[in-house]
């Protein structure tokens, strides 16, 4: 594991890469009482030649810094941290399989560590990173999920002016009990809605995309909710938008970041305009959605009875993975050996 201590008096201390071990903290450490904690999720891959690659690490570290700043934790030099991550990954290279779909999951974490029960900005902190080998999320091919829509009168993931757009622990723990209840009713995840119009925000811990057939026109629209401060700016979300604008927009597709409510999705399903729905995130890349339970209705999301994924979700997964594993050379894929110390 990688560890870097910080204090308000001396700043960042010498980084260390040490054997994985427990962390000892005072019982009054501010992370335990007031939630001073943020984290990231990223992966290291091996291409067909055995070179180790990181996928869009600058985007992850930029978001990590923004999350830290939002909860009064210390910011860091992204380029210097990237060099440390590169050294860490090279040490753990044996845990990265060269097989397609396999990678090393990296979890950088930043916590406040100073002791005391007063509520104030942390005066000491610990940045650390652990890792775990992971395989394909869908080892036997795509398996679409079923969502239950949660209105904001039942449970709210985030709200205007809050911190829903940051990757902090406080955004996750309150979501577990409602999702556990939904799973007991046969749904894999909750679709988080907001406001009187049931605007769509996120699905579980994923960003959501809806593919619609534009009525009266021989073209399609890909819709995802805008980054309005309530939604996490997912790196995979940005990849899908970038690829759609690069490869589908020239073919006449409309790529939209706009508000979309459940009533619109339900109407599209009823009129045959709904093509497909999928979530995006680091773990699965894309996750197709079969149906959404909304109020008393089960809204079909466009997949045929024997279809496990739509064409757009499949294309996006392939396009993104080609860049992750270096099949297609692109600036998103950073070769670790080229990150200068």
Domains of the chain: 2-135 (3.30.470.10), 145-325 (3.20.10.10)
Name the residue among 43, 78, 79 with its Cα closest to residue 63: 78
> How confident is the model at residue 139, as a pLDDT?
67
- 245-297 pLDDT, tens digit each: 999 999 999 999 999 999 999 999 999 999 999 999 999 999 999 999 999 99
Q: Residue 103 is encoded by which pair of tokens?
A: 């990678």
pTM (2 d.p.): 0.96
User: In the prediction, which pLDDT does 180 show?
Assistant: 97
276's CB contacts (< 8 A; 6+ apart) are: 211, 288, 289, 301, 302, 303, 309, 310, 311, 312, 313
pLDDT of residue 141: 76
pLDDT of residue 138: 76
Give the whole-angstrom CA distance, residue 5 versus residue 14.
Answer: 8
Whole-angstrom distance, CA of residue 270 vs CA of residue 263: 11
Q: Which residues of the chain register pLDDT less than 50?
A: none
Average pLDDT, the chain: 96
CA–CA separation, 116 and 119 (whole Å):
8
């Amino acid at each position: 594991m990688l560890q870097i201590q910080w204090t308000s008096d001396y700043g960042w201390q010498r980084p260390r890469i040490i054997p994985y071990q427990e962390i000892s903290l005072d019982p009054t450490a501010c992370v335990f009482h007031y939630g001073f904690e943020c984290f990231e999720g990223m992966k290291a891959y091996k291409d067909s030649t055995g070179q180790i690659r990181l996928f869009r690490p600058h985007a992850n570290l930029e978001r990590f810094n923004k999350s830290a700043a939002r909860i009064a934790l210390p910011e860091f030099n992204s380029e210097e941290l990237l060099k440390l991550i590169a050294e860490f990954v090279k040490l753990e290279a044996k845990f990265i399989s060269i097989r397609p779909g396999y990678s090393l999951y990296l979890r950088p974490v930043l916590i406040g560590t100073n002791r005391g029960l007063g509520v104030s900005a942390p005066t000491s902190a610990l940045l650390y990173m652990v890792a775990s080998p992971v395989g394909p999320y869908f080892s036997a091919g795509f398996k679409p999920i079923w969502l239950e829509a949660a209105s904001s009168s039942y449970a709210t993931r985030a709200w205007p002016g809050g911190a829903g757009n940051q990757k902090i622990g406080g955004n996750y723990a309150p979501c577990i009990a409602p999702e556990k209840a939904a799973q007991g009713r046969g749904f894999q995840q909750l679709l988080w809605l907001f406001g009187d119009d049931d605007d769509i925000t996120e699905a579980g811990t994923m960003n959501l995309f809806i593919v619609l057939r534009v009525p009266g026109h021989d073209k399609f629209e890909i819709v995802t909710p805008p980054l309005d401060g309530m939604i996490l700016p997912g790196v995979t979300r940005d990849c899908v938008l970038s690829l759609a604008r690069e490869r589908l927009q020239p073919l006449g597709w409309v790529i939209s970041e706009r508000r979309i409510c459940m009533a619109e999705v339900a109407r599209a399903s009823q009129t045959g305009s709904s093509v497909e729905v999928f979530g995006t995130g680091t773990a699965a890349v894309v996750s197709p959605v079969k149906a959404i339970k909304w109020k008393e209705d089960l809204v079909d999301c466009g997949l045929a009875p024997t279809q496990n994924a739509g064409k757009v979700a499949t294309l996006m997964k392939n396009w993104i993975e080609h860049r992750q594993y270096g099949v297609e050379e692109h600036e998103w894929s950073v070769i670790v050996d080229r990150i200068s110390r």
